[in-house]
Homo-oligomer: A and B are copies of this chain.
Amino acid sequence: MSVSPLPAARSIAALREAVTDWRRHGLSVGLAPTMGALHAGHLSLVRAAKGACDRVVASLFVNPRQFAPHEDFERYPRDEAGDAALLAGAGCDLLFAPERALMYPEGFATSVIVASVSTPLEGEMRPHFFGGVATVVTKLLLQCLPDAAYFGEKDYQQLLVIKQLARDLDIPVEIVGCATVREHDGLALSSRNAYLTPDERRIAGRLNLVLREAIAALRAGAAIGAAEAETARKLALAGFTCVDYAAVRDAETLQPITDLSGPARILAATWLGKTRLIDNMAV
């Protein structure tokens, strides 16, 4: 099948026309922003949107501004026809697939910067990242103006950054976080898992298990610093090439904590060869 089974909007005007038409008929609209290379995690966002909203838009845009020059923008997997078929199967009503020049025309000069929650962890390791994410998500939200937008908890810090910017800039949208979807061995689904060799894939499955062991240790009374160090040690032993961080943090601010009296999250970022994997869980 060479023709996309899903209507596609390739201009902001076409997107707004569809949304305006739905609104005129009293229908609510959900948005699931993606960079394509879709897996069951993305489709769970579409299904969550469809469960709560009358119509669902999925956007597909590999955002160059959230990749550093040395990162994998060029090799990031792209398959729009395959993605469109998956989206249609999950109940999506419209694909928004803008070209780069539509998102960042000549002379583009504006950035949305979120301080606080974007600063630690990913913000330290990938200083360009959240500026790129915050700006493109602001644009997508304002292009579509949905009632709600759906993001995966797998990118937990990103979810917090997006909630913060939507609240701070008074974007009239509800930001909804959706539970991480996992493989049979618990590996969090990620488009980047496609980069893994079979050997790396086996090791990757250990990441979530090590985090679960840390949570069990914390609940049994382990000190936070000790649990973090033990997590990093186990990941290195399991064969991860490098551990960017393994941290137990306040679940809302991502600031370091000294006890588990409030909601906490364990978050880790690790490398297998050239592939960077992240995961996180509620403690």
Contact = CB atoms under 8 A, between A and B. Distances in A.
Interface of A: 12, 16, 107-117, 134-135, 138-139, 142-143, 145, 164-165, 168-172
The CB with the most chain B CB atoms within 10 A, among A110, A114, A135, is that of A110
A116 B109 contact: yes
Contacts of A110: 112-115, 134, 164-165, 168-169
Tally of this chain's copies: 2
Contacts of A164: 109-110
B172 A142 contact: yes
Nearest to A144: B170
A12 B110 CA distance: 25
Contacts of A108: 168
A143 B172 CA distance: 8
Contact of A109 (B111, B115, B135, B145): B115
Contacts of A109: 114-117, 164, 168
Contacts of A172: 16, 142, 145
A114 B109 CA distance: 6
Contacts of A114: 109-110
Contacts of A143: 170
A160 B278 CA distance: 41
Given A109-B114, A110-B112, 20 more contacts: A16-B172, A107-B116, A109-B115, A109-B116, A109-B117, A109-B164, A109-B168, A110-B113, A110-B114, A110-B168, A110-B169, A111-B112, A113-B113, A135-B169, A139-B170, A142-B142, A142-B169, A142-B172, A143-B170, A145-B172
